[in-house]
A and B are shown apart, each in its own frame.
Chain A
Amino acid sequence: MSTPETPAAPPSPAAKAGAGVATYLDERLGTNAAGKKNLRKVFPEHWSFMLGEIALYSFIILLATGVYLTLFFKPSAQEVTYDGVYAPLRGAHMSEAYASTLDISFEVRGGLLMRQIHHWSALIFVAAIFIHLFRIFFTGAFRKPRELNWLIGNGLLTMALIEGFAGYTIPDDLLSGTGLRIAEAVILSIPVVGTYVQFFLFGGEFPGDDIIPRLFIIHVLLLPGIMLALITVHLMLVVVQKHTQFPGPGRTNENVVGFPLMPVYMAKAGGFFFIVFGVCALLGGIAQINPIWLFGPYYPDQISAGSQPDFYIGFLEGSLRAMPNWETNLFGHSISWNVLVPGLILPGIMMTLLAVYPFIEAWVTGDKREHHLLDRPRDVPVRTAFGAMSIAFYLLLFINGGNDIIGLTFDISINNVTRFTQVALIVVPPIVFVITKRACLGLQRADLNRVLHGKETGIIKRLPNGEFIEVHAPISAEERFSLMQRNTYAPLAAGPATDEEGVPTPGHKVAKVRAKLSKFWYADDMPKPTPEEYAELTAGHGHGDDHGTDVEGHGH
């Protein structure tokens, strides 16, 4: 690469100026040492490592456009009479929050564009968090030492959902007010303290004057502040723990193979920011989103058919709509299972399972090592199947959230859509689990086949004895290495129930559960061939498909 013979060219004026600035900063801030370390930081190459960046960039766009919107938005529930330019609402009574959002949309220069970029970026932000989460989950990037960063990511996801909800609620239009009313109902459904919590949050009866300014502060200060801090920690941990990478030749748990931050990744990441920004700006410019002027101001006695939340709240809407109408009356108090279960308990369980999954898997595996090499999803079938099953469950809830839109669009009875969802929520996830697991095992088998027998060439040969065979070509050593660089776990054994004296082993019951789970996780995996097996199977004559080529080569 380097050519030491070439005499160094005299530095250009630009380089001189750059050096001057660098020296100036280094003498005052000591930046050179930090820069030397961090600018050379290596990023491994894979497209899926850039999905989280989409979330990061859309968050930056959200901050920028959000600041502009706060300059004009009035977070007040004070009733005013609208006298702006939008004729269909002129003379209507509404909250100042809604009136100022109308003003932003119709009278503030660039206001509607900013609102639309802000809202589109919000949808992209949450969607990007989801796909980033999928990458982390299905490749096992959450394993030691990254469990805490997984938890931070979970926290960011939860906060993003609340942040988004608060954001689309504060304009106080008829659609967002409907969502707020549902949120209030969920709070009220908490046994014993529900009504107190509701009064505390809303400052009185629904809707009251307090909730809009409170949600505003949560939306523009509290949550963005916490999220910004957590995103910083999230990224610092990536720097501290180094990036994960997919297995391949030269890649180990101790190194990272890729390109340095400066200049390659600086250019890629910078370019990606502008792509994300461009997409958000384009959407904001040409695609209408959340047209609050069509929805009208919020009054608690009004509601619209087809009211839907933004997509990331859709699964909660769907769980509410899927829940049977169960209530218990206990000592004169109603416990509204029909709201409590789908609104709080179910999402609570879902988020908790997501958060603790790395710890469950680590325990079942009994693996205390650090992992910087990623798993291919097929290589851990049970994890992949759990992921697919959870996505199926989530999607069913999500689809049921739009049961009225689906019913109307496809001319199906809304009752049938709901009934289907109720059954499917129980039946479909296990089916998805089994199918996914079998598919993963099939892919493992295909990998093994590829390693041992080579790749199919599509060339059909006919042997002198009339038999047809397909010629297989051996795969490259790099590919073979990549395919077989995976972890294999043997199922853990529970150990003896008693020691030789007949004294029960402490913790044996737990060990038995763990052994069972471990068996469930790993018993079906395809074992990697040992070097001896590999040598035997691939050595010259007498084996399967290679036979044909040999016959040909040796001219029997």
Chain B
Amino acid sequence: MKRLSARRRHPLAGLVVLLLALGAVGGLYSAFAPSGTAEAADDASSLQIQEGKGLYITSCSSCHGLNAEGTSDGPEIAGLGAAAVDFQVGTGRMPLQSREGQAPAKKQLFTEEETVAIAAYVASLAGGAPIPTAEQYAADGDLQEGGEIFRTNCASCHNFIGKGGALTRGKYAPNLTGSDPKHIYEAMLTGPESMPTFSDGVLTPEQKKDVITYIKTIAAEPDPGGYAAGRIGPVTEGLLVWTVVIGALIGAAVWLGAKPS
């Protein structure tokens, strides 16, 4: 220490301190810098974004713009996040089939990997809700609670048990009974088409899980009463009565009323 303190008035001391200070600040900066640079350093992730960008440019940008800023043909999607992209592309709704009515779920154009790549690219532009993890949408929530939330918030469009329903002007709330739980979760999170957004402030992640638990449990539940005719209630019941049942009873009447010969 003596040697060091003896040289503190050395003409070059100021320079050395300055260098040390700069080194320390630089070191601290590189230790605490935002993950952007760290991600950029991650080869796999940046490759995925690169791939996603390529797919985006060829298949999405004509409507949504080169930077996802939107055009006259499609809305801005920068900031919507990976969950929205995964839902729209993962269910085949995007790329759009036609501009009329509502985008139907159809055969996916992209593989799971490509979908995730596009989602990662769009997310890299301006963040947004990430794709939920399998743990988040596992069907092991509170069944009764899920039913109550579903009947209060969802049934008015999607029907008691998620069989779907008509909206105005050809739009509709799709049938959920066969939907991928991940997509149900993403739909709640991002509110596609006419659907309202159920952000985590409105429905907590736990409650979203409850809803998925309810939809999936009821869909898998057997019908204790027998053949349920599509489970859509009085319409098919009435149809059955007026065709098969009344038909059979009139047939019986004709048989009984036939003249003995």
Contact = CB atoms under 8 A, between A and B. Distances in A.
Contact of B224 (A105, A307, A411): A105
B226 A90 contact: no
B234 interface: yes
Interface in A33-82: 45-51, 53-54
10 contacts: A47-B257, A48-B253, A127-B241, A294-B161, A296-B147, A306-B159, A308-B235, A407-B170, A407-B172, A414-B166
A459 interface: no
Interface string B118-159: 000000000000000000000000011001100110011111
A305 B158 contact: yes
Nearest to A301: B152
Interface of B: 101, 143-144, 147-148, 151-152, 155-161, 163-170, 172-173, 214, 217-218, 221, 223-229, 231-235, 237-238, 240-242, 245-246, 248-250, 252-259
Contacts of B227: 286-288
Interface stretch (A9-17, A150-158, A267-275, A471-479): A267-275
Contact of B234 (A116, A268, A271, A311): A311
A135 to B, nearest CB: 10
Given A272-B252, A285-B226, A305-B155, 5 more contacts: A290-B233, A304-B151, A405-B235, A414-B167, A414-B170
A127 B242 contact: yes
Contacts of A411: 170
Given A272-B253, A279-B248, A112 B170 contact: no
A53 B256 CA distance: 12
Closest 7 A/B residue pairs (Cβ): A305-B165, A288-B225, A311-B238, A47-B257, A413-B170, A404-B166, A50-B253
Contacts of A54: 249, 253
A417 to B, nearest CB: 9
Contact of B250 (A49, A106, A131): A131
B253 A51 contact: yes
Given A47-B250, A88-B144, A131-B250, A407 B166 contact: yes
Contacts of A285: 226
Contacts of A23: none
A186 B157 CA distance: 24
Interface string A293-321: 01110010111111111110010000000
A92 B147 contact: yes
Contacts, number: 194
Contacts of A440: none
Nearest to A265: B256
Nearest to A126: B241
B143 A88 contact: yes
A304 B156 contact: yes
Contact of B172 (A89, A116, A288, A408): A408
A174 interface: yes
A91 interface: yes
Nearest to A401: B235
A162 interface: no
A291 interface: yes
A307 B157 CA distance: 10
B249 to A, nearest CB: 5
B144 A89 contact: yes
B155 A287 contact: no
A289 interface: yes
B160 A124 contact: no
A299 B143 CA distance: 18
A314 to B, nearest CB: 7
Contacts of B217: 88
A306 B238 contact: no
A314 B235 CA distance: 9
A412 B169 CA distance: 8
Contact of A46 (B155, B168, B257): B257
A112 B225 contact: yes
A422 B87 CA distance: 39
Contacts of A307: 233
A40 B173 CA distance: 63
Contacts of B159: 304-306
B155 A304 contact: yes
Nearest to B161: A294
A451 interface: no
A276 interface: yes
Given A45-B259, A123-B237, A289-B237, A305 B173 contact: yes
A91 B145 CA distance: 9
A415 interface: yes
Contacts of A484: none
Interface residues of A, number: 69
A291 B223 contact: yes
Contacts of A305: 155-159, 164-166, 173
A287 B246 contact: no
B164 to A, nearest CB: 6
A308 B155 CA distance: 14
A87 interface: yes
A287 B226 contact: yes
A120 interface: yes
A112 to B, nearest CB: 6
Contact of B226 (A89, A286, A290): A286
B94 to A, nearest CB: 20
B184 to A, nearest CB: 16
A295 B160 contact: yes
A283 interface: yes
B166 A405 contact: yes
A311 B234 CA distance: 7
B215 to A, nearest CB: 11
Interface in A233-292: 268, 271-272, 275-276, 279, 283, 285-291
Nearest to B249: A54
Contact of A275 (B169, B214, B218, B252): B252
A408 B164 contact: yes
Contacts of A127: 241-242, 245-246
Given A305-B156, A305-B173, A124 B253 contact: no
A404 B225 CA distance: 26
Given A272-B256, A404-B165, A408-B172, A131 B246 contact: yes
Contacts of A89: 144, 147
A287 B229 contact: yes
A533 B44 CA distance: 102
Contact of B242 (A50, A309, A311): A311
A276 B160 contact: no
A404 B218 CA distance: 23
Contact of B155 (A91, A302, A309): A302
A259 to B, nearest CB: 9
Contacts of B256: 47, 50, 268, 271-272
Interface string A384-414: 0000000000000000001111011001111
A245 B255 CA distance: 18
Given A47-B254, A131-B246, A304-B155, A123 B238 contact: yes
Nearest to B258: A47
A382 interface: no
B165 A291 contact: no
Interface string A491-509: 0000000000000000000
A166 B135 CA distance: 46
A116 B245 CA distance: 14
